[in-house]
Chain A
Amino acid sequence: MVVNTIHWFRKGLRLHDNAALRDSIRGSDTLRCIYILDPWFAGSSNVGINRWRFLLQCLEDLDSSLRKINSRLFVIRGQPTDVFPRLFKEWHINRLSYEYDSEPFGKERDAAIQKLASEAGVELMVRISHTLYNLDKIIELNGGQPPLTYKRFQALINHMEPVELPTETITAEVIKKCVTPISDDHDDKYGVPSLEELGFETDGLTTAVWPGGETEALMRLERHLERKAWVANFERPRMNANSLLASPTGLSPYLRFGCLSCRLFYFKLTDLYRKVKKNSTPPLSLYGQLLWREFFYTTATNNPCFDKMDGNPVCVQIPWDRNPEALAKWAEGRTGFPWIDAIMTQLRQEGWIHHLARHGVACFLTRGDLWISWEEGMKVFEELLLDADWSVNAGSWMWLSCSSFFQQFFHCYCPVGFGRRTDPNGDYIRRYLPILRGYPAKYIYDPWNAPEDVQKAAKCIIGVHYPKPMVNHAEASRVNVERMKQIYQQLSCYRGLGLLATVPANPNNGSNANIVNAGSGQIPGSSVEHTSAQEGPSRTGSLSATCWIFNTSYEKHGWIPLDYIEVLSPCFLF
């Protein structure tokens, strides 16, 4: 029987470590690799020009790599549920492969396609390669619940089977006799569109700081590892002024689109570490970037409301303010705080900002200054940020706004001080906000404090050429810390005076409860994580109790009923 295969690229835009593609080639007579340009890109139409350009570059790169092995990429416009029945018929397809997508929207879309495939008698081949692990197994190991803290997640990881090795790259060897039927009008029918064809204005568009594609990704990986080896230091790098700028070894957008396999990155890091540190076991912190990504994917996979506050069992219901005007100022870099505005400008221009810069602007928008919902910030990042995928973006915003994951909220990133400590000279500000170039380092982070003659000399009067600061940070912090405290005190039912104890003790950090259960009161000799993992089932109980508090009481009442008789006792809403 003739086997005609479609491989469907969604993420996983690469030929290395592509298990679904690799397996579906075996025994196939024809192969067509497709990308469906769904007008609803990953469930949202909120995509800026940098992200489209990156994607198109990825597709061009794929097409070029496929050409080298006598194949081509087929770009098809439409919605998958419309496209597939047509293709199944037209190309006599009996096999369909794709990389597993763990996100709730992806799973729903794929369920519909699975149905169509089975109705059409098409064999499905789905493989996991966008994450290091099978996320369902991690959840299973945690008693059927996703881990709510990163520490818990790390403990579970230690008990998972080792990460699978990357699959061999698709080469002419691998493809062997499998043929791709290419028509003369392929470019017209199935070619990768340009930005203009998609309706974008490209006049004045500067070259991409982050060029898309697998080729670029692999080159960066090599450079990234070279730099690590040269430094021979695997510690978390200290933040300095240079870190703020786009790095030629940065990998996050490539991981998001799947131009770079996370497993390949994982193993290359491991090999390098073993080489440099003479075969010792790499600590989990080496894979920090990959594991955080994995953590958010795990927490999100079974929660379709993960990107919302309302109806989201892991999200604290916080009375954020609705203020479109203030939101626009933040999104467009017009807050009057140069540190915030420069970061948002870099984001809009280039599509990437350093993670501490993200913390700074996220804190400013939400719990720090503007008290606007993290959902709004998440949408802006979704539009502009190259590496913001659904799970990681939503999860990070919840984290940064102290809406979940049992965060302490006392540490606020100052929109003046934090920038000043990172880049005392202010070069970053001058680069992205040229209007402030004339300001000396002393005043560049708070130009509204500069005396008139300094402002005149800088040819930039605050309030005229550059906005005045939109909030008084000291007053805003004071108000907002108080708000967070009110909310968390209701959640934890804490009646004391401490600021730290206001945040409910997280149930699976391996705190006192853990030791009590261990019985001896001593910390076990082996790694801490071992004990935590054993807690499994009982943890689930306390986890769901906490989730109930978040979800039920807030949804039903908007507050947890306080016993007002206790009002006379210390700290009524202190």
Chain B
Amino acid sequence: MGFLWTGTWILVLVLQSSPAQAFPKPGGGQENKPGESNYSFVDNLNLLKAITEKEKIEKERQSIRSSPYDNKLNVEDVDSTKNRRLIDDYDSTKSGLNHKFQDDPDGLHQLDGTPLTAEDIVQKIATRIYEENDRGVFDKIVSKLLNLGLITESQAHILEDEVAEVLQKLISKEANTYEEEPNKPTSVTESQAGKIPEKVTPVAAIQDGFTNGQNDETVSNTLTLTNGLERRTKIYNEDNFEELQYFPNFYALLKSIDSEKEAKEKETLITIMKTLIDFVKMMVKYGTISPEEGVSYLENLDETIALQTKNKLEKNVTDNKSKLFPAPSEKSHEETDSTKEEAAKMEKEYGTLKDSTKDDNPRGKTDEPKGKTEAYLEAIRKNIEWLKKHNKKGNKEDYDLSKMRDFINQQADAYVEKGILDKEEANAIKRIYSSL
């Protein structure tokens, strides 16, 4: 896979040049979220693996879950293979590293073998990401590097900035030329990442062929999405904007952004959309979701984007992102349910979600005792009423009431001892009975 290759030479370059020199620009304060969430993505894959293994032992619903789970296992197999490879690659004591970049026909090094300059590195990374159509890859690599302590956080931020900048340029300038590239890197990665295609074919075998000849030929020709998505991705390859026609609302939104000052916003929106599509494709490829789920997810996305981005267009793009996954619409299919869950997860990540079964506890606290006391009062009232009805024996009523009081007192105390009632509740109840 391309990202593996990317990871390989990133490490090489980082190791070759001293960190301070590689990043001439000082970094700005970055939000930690992207790195963290990517970090958690890797961990989450492992967690997913753990859960999946647990599921294997678990009895519940194995049969109906078998196909997605199988795919998940394969995802982990593929991914864990990738991870292992990365770690191997990061081990600088292994001599294989030299071997790898010597074989690189793209000329990652100058002809005389000296490392490239910082700008070149960044350019190469950005180009690679753009070519591979796999932006999430970069973040994974960065988080790996961070975890291994090979780069510091600020270096990571700097790198991110640099790469993103170049990427943006690429998107706007080279949108039509990337199609010619994939053949070279994928053929290179096939020879380098020998394990990967082996692991991937089981995944491929499980699913139908996915004919998207433009991207990721290592996995291509073996997976198909439903017609809709296939159609969309085919168009996508040809033209930036035409593909987005299948997202009518989004497309309309793009068209409405005319002014020069919002051009960058427009670019970013397009990037975001494409990335989303890529990601969904990747998910389908790895069998994490079914093609139908992927399609309907994207369909839902279009609708929600239409709503949200219209509102947020004036605000910061980062705000837009968080609103791309708003509170879900009221649908009940499985596909839309997964959208809802993502939305909820997104909201959580941006720290806006509260526990839905408890609402506003501080406010609730004052309501609670009232509600409880009222409920108890009501219950006691009904009890007395019923007892009166069933004990119509004239003056026996009073007798019964005092007997009742004693009984209640005794019971209340017993319940407090057993942890069934609070002391205050018991006192309240005794008070109520004594006042009758």
Answer yes or no: are A and B bound together in one complex: no
Instruction: List residues of chain A with CB under 8 Å of any chain B CB.
Output: none
Interface residues of B (CB under 8 A from A): none
